[in-house]
Chains A and B, each alone.
Chain A
Amino acid sequence: MRLNSIGKPFAVSALALAVSSGAYAVTDEDILNDHTTADDVVSYGMGLQGQRYSALDTLNADNVKSLQPVWAFSFGSEKMRGQESQPLIKDGVMYITASYSRAYAIDAKTGEEIWQYDARLPDGIMPCCDVINRGGALYGDLFFFATLDAKLVALNKDTGKVVWIKPVADYKEGYAITAAPMIVKGKLITGVSGGEFGIVGKVEAYDPETGDKLWTRPTVEGHMGYVYEDGKAIENGISGGEAGKTWPGDMWKTGGAATWLGGTYDADTDTLFFGTGNPAPWNSHLRPGDNLFSSSRVALDPDDGSIKWHFQTTPNDGWDYDGVNELISFDYEENGGVVKAAATADRNGFFYVLDRTDGSFIRGFPFVDEVSWAEGLDENGRPIYTDGGRPGNPADAEGEKGEPVLARPAFLGGKNWMPMAYSQDTGLFYVPSNEWAMDIWNEPVSYKKGAAYLGAGFTIKPANEDFIGVLRAIDPKTGEEVWRHENRAPLWGGVMTTAGNLVFTGTPEGYLKAFDAQTGEELYRFNTGSGVVGTPITWEMDGEQYVSVASGWGGAVPLWGGEVAKVVKEFNQGGMLWTFKLPKEDS
């Protein structure tokens, strides 16, 4: 009785608190300035350009060795595997997603849960590459994320209650969504996954308040884009002009090119940049031609989804090089002028620097130790294919299986999904990369809705005995590898860099590590208990600098890694969120 009565005033004040915290709405300005404000992280990429650079330097190369955990949070249940998420932080509350389409709000001071949302997923979901999720978006008083059954969910950021839920595509056809959506100019923007199932990739914009669709842009040539006005679809041009220019027959109808990693946005040029994945099926002999807009970077108008330009990294991709990697905008000075550039480190092993105003090629170079499938890039950035570098056509072989080839990098990529970072201080990109090769061969295949659409077999093998992962510092102006740090297991976590001359990333062995941004010297490591395949963030709260990262081994490597299993099979699953800061001097 008494407890209950005394509890009443508490309940009232808790309500007042909830109401007042609701007043801290996230604005377009908060999101546009995310890269310059230290006290919040309100976008995937720590800024819409995706540089993952923080100007904070309280924590720096001199004192990082004293970094200590302040709290850890468990995502709970038995769904431990595959924590690839990046947290967001706003007004002392952390927002993060976890595997199996879960979302959490957590008190950033104490690590106590405020709310949790668990999507109930159908049994028939088809995530190709584990049950992961990479993060959410904040806008107004809503938190958004996307689910493995290809839905967008809007939650009240203060209560976790569902405001709306909308299917983006049909999961039964093989669609899923794992990337973080983003807010650009008041629109909620998302891509889709499913390139292994012959889906059609697309980028779509939604009204964050209502979930109404605003525009859709297919990323396979031949499909019509639409804008929506008052619930009516209005044609907005066929992607690529017409069908059949770079695809044979009807192959474009199931052409893949999934936009599965989400995008970045550059306010300077008012452009969305999305990477597009592999063309479907993997067997390239079934689809001679460039297969636009697969394995490309496409630049979109955020107002209506029109394609401004595209740059294709692997035309007629026959290796699942699936060039979906993030395109990061950055400026550099050359000959007294400023170059508005953008860079991307592709699964295919090449690093590209593009002019982000028109997509023209500035330079490109391999960022991995060896590339087998191409001898180099021509003056337009198009690969010069190696003779015999492509798996053989099954039609030319006796039996079902085409001639296998040993290709490098393996299809899991010179760099996979894990985002790199760009330091405005050093002018270097910090690239989480891997050294591996694969045997790959082609087989006949035909499309069947909801079934894997590959037409290829493969096995991955490490390229070296003692390491697979390499964290590299790369000079985008020269292609020089300024430093490297080798790791026994493949790197699968995102990177962050700070004005404190630091680079942070995690390893599958469980460590959160910090490096000297100039020299690559390892300055700090902390074992989080399970593989770190998430992306760290940093922010300032009450005058102190914090670092947070999710821990929980999983993702594509344990599922698809072939002989890499030798290195990773002992790694245990996790499912934790860790937060660190420097110890406070007792006053």
Chain B
Amino acid sequence: MRGWMALGLALLSVTVQAGFPEDPFHSPMWEYNLERYLGDDSEVVHDERVELQVPPFAEDSAQVPLTLDLTAFPEPAQRIVTWVDLNPIPHLFTYEPGADPVRLLSLNFRVQQATTVRAAVQDAEGVWHLGSAYVDAAGGGCTAPSLTSANPDWEKVFGTVRGGAFSRAEHTRYKLNVMHPMDSGMVGNTPAFYIEQVALYREGDPHPLLRLELSQSAAENPMFVFELEQEAPRSRLWMRDNNGNVFERHLGGTSS
């Protein structure tokens, strides 16, 4: 009985394995992370319209800019998952949309060593469209002490949010920076302490315009950029860290 079950599962996983395309970067974590973050029965295709931009070399392994440009992607993303293949905790963020489609997302992250970075965008059929990029790095970004930890007065600026909403021709650009150590928990004597949840709300609307779930790969004092296809509404940014601290910032209508 036991043998049958094991055989059945093995057969199933073989068929699933056949479902993933080859990785042009030949990352050792390719299938493992696809299964972990998208599920082992997911349908995955490479797609150049998922434009993932990272610098060729990370000058600062603790602050690497990532931009996901979906201007060329023909339909609204149902869900987006990004990860950094060779980081100790690869997951970077998961995005869930509101009513207005996202055109562009940007967030700085940490790299522990030279690695491929992935962005998976799910379409309405449930298919995952993958964009990949490679960043070379000296490394160590996840296990180096944060700048915050060197500053005994860090709590004075902790949680300060700067930025606002800016109108563009056919969309609104939100650019926000929050002072937070985003400790990965991998530095001795410093517990994991990072923003887990980010949400953007239209004023008076309980349904978010977008939601992000972050992991420890996100960089210290993170800078978020979102571009949504909409008129700039009066809105509110809400964030909560794993210690339960909540940060909010009201954003003006057309500028701030």
Give the number of chain A interface residues (Cβ < 8 Å). 21
Q: Does A78 count as interface, using CB distance less than 8 angstroms?
A: yes
Report whether B243 and A5 are in contact in the complex, using a CB–CB cutoff of 8 Å.
no
Interface residues of B in 227-256 (CB under 8 A from A): 242-245
**Interface residue stretch chosen among A157-165, A237-245, A381-389, A477-485:** A157-165
Q: Give CA–CA (A165, B245) in the complex, Å.
A: 7
Q: How far apart are A208's CB and chain B's nearest CB, in angstroms?
A: 15
User: For residue B242, which residues in chain A have a CB less than 8 angstroms away from its CB?
Assistant: 161-162
Interface positions, chain A 386-423, Cβ under 8 Å from B, are: none
Minimum C-beta distance from A149 to chain B (A): 9
Say yes or no: is A124 at the interface (Cβ < 8 Å to chain B): yes
A334 within 8 A of B: no
Number of A-B residue pairs at CB separation under 8 A = 60
The smallest C-beta distance from A452 to any residue of chain B, in angstroms, reads 18
- Select one of A77, A124, A165 contacting B244, CB under 8 A: A165
With a CB–CB cut-off of 8 A, which chain A residues contact B193? Answer: 118, 120
> With A119-B243, A120-B181, A120-B183 in contact, do A5 and B9 touch (Cβ < 8 Å)?
yes
Kindly provide the distance from the CB of A171 to the nearest chain B CB, expressed in whole angstroms.
Answer: 9
Interchain CB contact under 8 A, B17 and A123: no
Q: What's the least CB distance linking B134 to chain A, in Å?
A: 25
- B127-178 contacts to A (CB < 8 Å): 152-155, 158
Q: Which residues of B contact A6 (CB under 8 A)?
A: 6, 9
Contact A4 B189 (CB under 8 A): no
Q: Which of A77, A120, A123, A164 has the most CB of B within 10 A?
A: A120
Do the beta carbons of A162 and B154 come within 8 Å of each other?
A: no
A77 to B187, CA, bound (A): 10
Q: Which of B1-42 contact A (CB under 8 A)?
A: 6, 9-10, 12-14, 16-17, 31-32, 35, 40
CA of A5 to CA of B13, assembled, Å: 7
Please state if B154 and A123 are interface contacts (CB–CB under 8 Å). Answer: yes
Contacts A77-B189, A120-B181; A5 near B40 (Cβ below 8 A): yes
Tell me the residues in window 137-165 of chain A with beta carbons closer than 8 Å to chain B beta carbons: 153, 161-165
B192 within 8 A of A: yes
Instruction: Tell whether, in the assembled complex, residue A1 and residue B17 are in contact, meaning their CB atoms are under 8 Å apart.
Output: yes
Residue of B with least CB distance to A165: B244
Say yes or no: B155 contacts A123, CB within 8 Å.
yes
Residue of B nearest to A149 (CB): B155
Find chain B residues with CB under 8 A from A77 CB: 188-189, 191
Q: Using CB atoms, name the residue of chain A closest to B191.
A: A118
For window 35-75 of B, CB contacts with A under 8 Å fall at: 35, 40
Neighbouring B residues of A164 by C-beta, 8 Å: 244
- Closest chain A residue, CB of each to CB of B6: A6
* In contact, B191 and A124 (Cβ under 8 angstroms): no
B189 / chain A contacts, CB cutoff of 8 Å: 77-79
Please indicate the chain A residues that have their CB under 8 angstroms from the CB of B16 in the complex. Answer: 1
With contacts A78-B189, A162-B243 taken as known, whether A5 is within 8 angstroms of B10 at the C-beta atoms is: yes
Residues of the A chain whose Cβ atoms lie less than 8 Å from the Cβ of B40: 4-5
Quick check: B188 and A78 within 8 Å, CB to CB?
A: yes
Contact of A2 (CB < 8 Å), options: B10, B31, B192, B243: B10
Chain B positions 59-105 with a Cβ under 8 Å from a chain A Cβ = none
In the complex formed, the residue of A with least CB distance to B36 is: A4
Question: Which residues of chain B are near A5, meaning CB under 8 Å?
Answer: 9-10, 12-13, 40
- Kindly state whether residue A336 has any CB partner on chain B within 8 Å: no
Cβ–Cβ contact A4 & B152, under 8 A: no
Which residues does chain A contribute within 8 Å of B17, judged by CB atoms?
1
**Which residues of chain B have C-beta atoms less than 8 A from A543's C-beta?**
none
What 1/0 mask marks residues of chain A from 112 to 126 whose CB sits below 8 Å from any chain B CB?
A: 000000111011100
Residues of A within 8 A of B10 (CB): 2, 5
Instruction: Kindly state the separation between the CA atoms of A200 and B9 in the bound complex, as whole angstroms.
Output: 64
C-alpha spacing A79/B242, complex, angstroms? 20
> Can you name 18 extra interface pairs (CB under 8 A) apart from A118-B191, A122-B154?
A1-B13, A1-B17, A1-B31, A4-B13, A4-B35, A5-B40, A6-B9, A77-B188, A77-B191, A78-B189, A118-B192, A118-B193, A120-B183, A120-B191, A120-B193, A123-B154, A124-B152, A165-B243
20 contacts between A and B (CB under 8 A): A2-B13, A4-B13, A4-B32, A4-B40, A5-B9, A6-B9, A77-B188, A77-B189, A102-B191, A118-B193, A119-B243, A120-B181, A122-B154, A122-B158, A123-B154, A124-B153, A162-B244, A163-B244, A164-B244, A165-B243
Closest 10 CB pairs of A and B: A118-B191, A162-B244, A165-B244, A122-B155, A120-B193, A123-B152, A5-B13, A5-B9, A1-B13, A78-B189
